[in-house]
Chains A and B, each alone.
Chain A
Amino acid sequence: MTVHTLTATALRAGYGETDILHGLDLAVPPGKITAIVGANACGKSTLLRAMSRLLAPRQGHVVLDGRSVHNTPSRELARTLGLLPQSPVAPEGITVADLVSRGRHPHQRLFSRWTRKDDEAVDRALSATKTTELAERSVDELSGGQRQRVWIAMALAQETDILLLDEPTTFLDISHQVEVLDLLSDLNHSRATTVVMVLHDLNLAARYADFLVAMREGRIHVCGAPEDVLTEDNVLDVFGLESRIITDPTSGRPIMLPIGRHRIATANAEDGMFR
């Protein structure tokens, strides 16, 4: 496992006429879990797409190990940097083993045979995601949580040192969300895989990330350790939401409680109840 540096400098990117990222700088801490949070349409997914070269920047660079990702041959890049898009398409009737095998694509040459190494990578990916038992099942018939684990398995079979995930927990119930995030943490601990993910849930982001990035209107509003990023002021700036921040007794990480306009008990006014 080599240490890779992935940075974005003065990154400007968007679709059609509009810019979505307005000159953004980010250095992804190697070997850590980074979570990107922010309001809808603040450019989280766009940032992920630009970093994985799915979207060409208008200005600025995304540099992996000193080389612009947009000048790196796609196959070569795909051996270092993996991406799980927000809504991947599973071809009708494909089996789990078959889908996970597709992750080996960047490791294969023209007309080269499937090798023992490929089988082993698939086996490792299946067992890491606890989907070995599902290997011969059709992806269509899996539950949402199982399916997401299978997609992650495909990205794992790619055996990249950096893994980007666009909202890997969307459409999952809370236990499956935790399961997926635990799995990514395992991966980060056991193989030092650098994980960068877009997450919707602030509290899960603060819980699982080593490095939290809060985006606002195409720029990075603040980034750093979850304790420093998830503050009442920042939540107000980024989401326009009044909130209280308390400390999770289990993890010691910050938890955000939205205040809103209703059902505000008097206890809320008595500062200190939660602190």
Chain B
Amino acid sequence: MSSASLDRIVINRLRRSRKQRVLIAALIAIVVAIFALALSYGQSLTPPGEVIRVLLGENVPGAAFTVGQLRLPRAVISVLAGLSFGFGGVAFQVMLRNPLASPDIIGISSGASAAAVFAIVVLSLKGPVVSILAIVAGLGVALVVYGLSYRNGVSGTRLILVGIGVSAMLESFIAYTLSQAPAWSLQEAVRWLTGSVNGAQLAQAAPLLMALLVFGGVLLSRARDLEALRLGDDTAAALGVSVSRTRVIIIVAAVGMIASATAVTGPIAFVAFLSGPIAARIVGSNGPVLIAAALIGAVLVLAGDYAGQFLLPGRYPVGIVTGVLGAPYLIVLIVRANRIGGSS
């Protein structure tokens, strides 16, 4: 038991955590940079000085409208929704040890969308009621998928397959409902199919932030249990994790977060799915992936929306941009999983 080896362990641990802090700080800086870009440069350039004055509440002619009314709500909602999608998605992926286990693949997002479309088209509902229904439906679908895949515990692969099946059923339900939709409700309903931050309002930020803080706090308090679950359910249990209870808590928190964001922006395709793996690439799969994935989610939505508005020919909602990014990665993952002969 030489103290030299102990010192080395301590030094390496401190070095690792310093490196991780630097990476997280860099990610935060990127989010802030894109946020600043989105506030100051759109159809026209607003000088940074004016942007800051608008943010401080001054009434700057012209800028007060473009920055305060158009760009700021959009950017704020993008950040909050991105954080929620990234965080909720990675929690699922880590818990089930499979990047395919993301809520947008296993039917949770389609559950929220299906409920919203049904509420708008068939029940002629509007406003917050639709959002609440969407959140409840997201949770409901999560529990149904979890229940259907339960047999002597839940295996990740079974849950993913059940989820993909449930997701397909919900998608066809959405398609059918839309085909019956009267023209006046169609536009409102379609918003639930492609995620978008068009028409974002600052008033939507407060509930979204609340959901993020509450559910995010719950997930962070379970971060160590999640880490242990990466070693397999048996090892995690041997390390003192109550596996089933932890899973239910994580599912409820992650779905709550994702469904709340979906209620505001609609399902922004693949953000939940992509953030975790990108974060793992950056901070290492054993680094602080939860926080990193949340930040990557914010980057994806902010940058995707910015690109959809200004960088591409024509204007696209953010969900189209992220969908185009995410689909090839999904194909790569499925091909790779099949080559290994199914993932565990």
Residues of A within 8 A of B (CB): 15-16, 49, 52-54, 74-79, 82-85, 87-95, 97-99, 101-103, 105-106, 108, 110-111, 114, 119-120, 122-124, 126-127, 132, 135-136, 155, 158
Cβ-based interface call for B224 (8 A): yes
Describe A's contact surface by its main secondary structure. mixed
| B239 and A105 contacting across the interface, CB-CB below 8 Å | yes
With contacts A78-B239, A106-B239, A111-B221 known, is A93 near B232, CB below 8 A? no
Contact B286 A105 (CB under 8 A): no
- 7 closest pairs, A vs B, by CB? A78-B240, A106-B240, A83-B238, A75-B240, A85-B234, A89-B232, A105-B239
Number of interface residues of B (CB under 8 A): 31
B172 in contact (CB, < 8 A) = no
A105 touches B228 (CB 8 A): yes
A89 to B5 Cα, complex, angstroms: 26
Q: Are B284 and A93 in contact (CB under 8 A)?
A: yes
Whole-angstrom CA separation of A160 from B9 in the bound complex: 21
* Chain B min CB distance to A69 (Å): 12
Closest to A78 in B: B240
Is there a chain A Cβ closer than 8 Å to B214's Cβ?
A: no
Q: Which of A53, A78, A105, A126 contacts B5 (CB 8 A)?
A: A126
Q: How far is the CA of A99 from the CA of B239 in the complex (A)?
A: 12
Q: Shortest CB–CB separation between residue A208 and chain B, in angstroms?
A: 22
Chain B residues with CB below 8 A from A103, complex form: 239
Instruction: Enumerate B269-287 residues with CB–CB distance to A below 8 Å.
Output: 284-286
Measured CB to CB, the nearest residue on chain B to A81 is B238
Given contacts A91-B231, A126-B9, contact A15 B285 (CB under 8 A): no
Which residue of B is nearest A111, CB measured?
B221
Known: A91-B286, A123-B1. A135 touches B235 (CB 8 A): no
Decide yes or no whether B59 CB sits under 8 A from chain A: no
Q: Which of A15, A88, A93, A124 contacts B286 (CB 8 A)?
A: A93
Closest to B234 in A: A85
B238 near A78 (CB under 8 angstroms)? Answer: yes
CA distance A111 to B224 in the complex (A): 9
A102 touches B239 (CB 8 A): yes
